[in-house]
Every structure is written in C-alpha cells, then in structure tokens.
Structure 1
C-alpha cells in the first residue's frame, strides 16, 4: 500500500495530510516502525509511550503487523488513565492497549497504569519507572480541546515540574469520550484521571501524532494556527523538531475548505 499525502510545515512541526484515516494509519505506522528498528539497531532497549483512543486504531492495526521488530527489547508505557473505573472495565486505557497492541506483539516490558490504588503511590512508582532512561518515542493524538494526554487547557503546564499528576477532566474532554463511543453518557465518564505531563511527553526524541476525523478539525486548525499557549495545549508541538502530525482531509481545514 503506497500512501499519497501532502507535506506541510508549521514552524518545527512536520504535517502530513492523507486522504483518509486508513492511509494515515498505514504511513504513520510504517514510519514509526522504521524509527523503532533504527533505535533497536543502536541501543539495547527502546522505551515507548502509547496513547489509547479510537484515533489510534488504524495506526496500531498496522504497527502490530510491522515485520522485523524485536518487541522483546521494547519497554512500553501509556500516557494516561481514568481514576475510579472498575478493574477490567473496557474503557480503561490499559485494556485498550492490551487488546489493540500488547497482547499481539508482547513487548519485553509493559508498564500499565493501575486502575485502582493510591494516586500518590501510583505517580511515584510510574515516575520512577520513566526516570530509569530517556523516552525514545511517543505515539499520541490530540483531543478535541487540544489536550495532549489528559492535559486539558485548565490544567496544562508547558513547564510542569511533575512527571505525572492527577487532573480533573474538563467538560469538552469528557464529552469527547461520549462522542468517541467509549461511554454511553456524560455522567458515566470519570471526572479525574492520571496523566503524564506535557514536559514528560515532549522529552521524547521522536513524536508520532495521529489525528484523523471531522471531530478533530477544530483541534487541528487550532494546533497549527493559534498562539502557542495552554489555551490549546497541542500548539506546543510546533516547537518540537522531532514531531510529525499525521492528519486526514476530514480533519485538515485547509483541504476541507478547498
């Protein structure tokens, strides 16, 4: 499958625009897999942080099929998790990543954020695990409100001193979980979550950011056009030279209006 796309540049951020989310997912996975192989050729272990969301489906579908990857030398993390859901709930991000990727490729280490326990203890343990060595790559998306992980505008901090923190989810973020079909009602969406902070995510050498669909059109436009402030946290991606944004014609306003 040969993916056709348009290349754009917004400050340091490379943007690739595809006809649809399947082409987006295929190309993003091909490039992520190539980078992963490159890192595995030069170091013993590669450390990756993954997002869990429907926007990642096509990407993860292709990534788990990528050949010639020694997943046994990969240490995998995820970037956020709800607080208050029952163990085993299908909406847990640990469940999503296990079923969409980890169960098939079987990384050597998988560090899941627990669904229950004392948040302070979870934060300390996860922060210690992340501090062992640099993060090599992050596979992420952008929320409808421009959030990165669960760093919504009210709680986002580009200079956050913490590695991970407890946050209260804003109304737009919680509604997105309903829009995505993850919860049937807004009342069912947890109000609090654990999230890696923005500096933690941006510390990775390479970021692969997959953002398809009409529901993300405003978020993509704001990411590329708004001032770089926490009013739209994803604008900070324009300052990361190792980030590529993969989007599609549904989400990219300039093509949608053409």
Structure 2
C-alpha cells in the first residue's frame, strides 16, 4: 500500500492521472495494449479532466465500466454510462469499451460483461471509496466470497443519501434500489489499483479503510489486501488520520 496526500482535489487528480498514464503506457509497451477499469462520481471529476490530457495512445486501451443503477438508461442525468461518455469516451479515441447497461435483461448484460472481463486481466483499476466505505456498489456488508465478476446488489440507505448529496437525484426515494456492480473479488484481480478519494465527506470512510479490521462491514478494507494499491487523498479526506501532511 502506498498513500499520497495532496493539498486539494485538483492536485490529487493531476498526480493520480499522471500515475495512471505511466501504468497504462507500461502495459502497452509490454503487451501492445492495456485494459482499464474506471469508477465514476463527483469525487473523480478532477481525475478525469487530467486523465484525458495524458499523452496515451488511447486506441490501444480497452475500458471497462465498474457499475450502474438498475433501471436507469444512459439518458438519465445520474447514469454512469452518460458520465463516462461525457467525461472520457468522447474525449479520447478508445480501442474499445464495455459499458454497464442498467436497462433490459440484467442477466444477459451480466453474462456479456462477465465474458468480456474474463478474457484477460485488468492492468489498471481506478477504484473510488464511498462515504459508507463501499467500493463500486458493494455496500456494507459486502460479499467478499462471490467469484462472479459482475453481480446485482441492493443499495443501502447511506449509499442512496450520498447520491442525493452529490446532486444526482432530487430525493432518496428517486434513487434506484438495486445496481449492477463489479464484485469485490473481481476488483482485486486487477494488476494495479489506484484510488482517488478527495473531499471532507470521505474523511470518515478513509479512517475506517485504514484503521478498521478487514471485514464486510467496511468493504474498502479489502483494498489493503491488494499487493499493488495506491491511495490518493487530499488534506480534507485525510483529516481524520495522521496523514494530513502536504507532500
């Protein structure tokens, strides 16, 4: 585990994007292509802005989408498909991408995603941490046992409140009850994991991530078991730890 504490979200995003570019370029140099897994949310805005400016041959990058609400199409303002289209896919010339469709037959969607993700390891996974310490939509208590790459999960109340607080939905009753998400074990199969977690609202979750026992009630603690995990924080998100020191 490697931890970097930056002054603010912009610096965090810029440094994490530069790090991500190095990893992707190394994969391209080594094997001719790279597989990238992306998370979304308001905490990732600065990262995406910096990432699309990186000098990468994006035609050699294949992107995977981490999660999506069940029952929401890509025309909904809260859709993570729409988020990725706007902030990433339309900004670069990707070699390929796999979005999670929350509409239609979820079993067929999951089967398609499972087949694609299992073709080869993911070289780089960008995995955020939620206010309730979830990773992807694996809310507490998360399933640490399933080997299925993508699964359907029920969203907890804390997760729904976060989505409302970030402005994606008008009220908690508008947030879908379920989502498709990549499982914890599939996330951990990624070769490298980087986590961008800025802002004061994440401070408690970061404290729990770093100090709690590894257990399903704090899903993000599982990231500590990964052999190549780097955590990027800003001073606000690191405030409840002993790490709030400017680099």
Q: Which residue of the other structure, out of 26, 33, 36, is the alignment partner of 1:48?
A: 36
Moved more, 239-248 or 78-87: 78-87
- State the Cα distance separating 1:127 from its structure 2 match: 0.1
TM-score normalised by the chain length of structure 2: 0.95
* Gapped regions of structure 2 (runs ≥ 5): none
Aligned 1:174-189 pairs, distance under 5 A: 174-189=160-175
Q: Does 1:249 align with 2:235?
A: yes
Conserved? CA contact 2:74–2:81, under 8 Å: no
- State the Cα distance separating 1:143 from its structure 2 match: 0.6
Q: Aligned equivalents of 2:93 and 2:161: distance in 1?
A: 33
Q: Which residue of the other structure, out of 130, 135, 155, is the alignment partner of 2:122?
A: 135
Conserved? CA contact 1:250–1:256, under 8 Å: no
Q: Which residue of the other structure, out of 62, 82, 86, is the alignment partner of 1:99?
A: 86
Q: Who is 2:24 aligned against?
A: 36
Q: Who is 2:76 aligned against?
A: 89
Conserved? CA contact 2:48–2:87, under 8 Å: yes
TM-score normalised by the chain length of structure 1: 0.91
Q: Who is 1:153 aligned against?
A: 140
Conserved? CA contact 1:48–1:74, under 8 Å: yes
Q: Aligned equivalents of 1:83 and 1:102: distance in 2?
A: 21
Q: Who is 1:6 aligned against?
A: none
- State the Cα distance separating 1:87 from its structure 2 match: 4.2
Q: Does 1:237 align with 2:195?
A: no
RMSD: 1.4
- State the Cα distance separating 1:214 from its structure 2 match: 0.7
- State the Cα distance separating 1:72 from its structure 2 match: 0.5
Q: Aligned equivalents of 2:224 and 2:187: distance in 1?
A: 14
- State the Cα distance separating 1:158 from its structure 2 match: 2.0
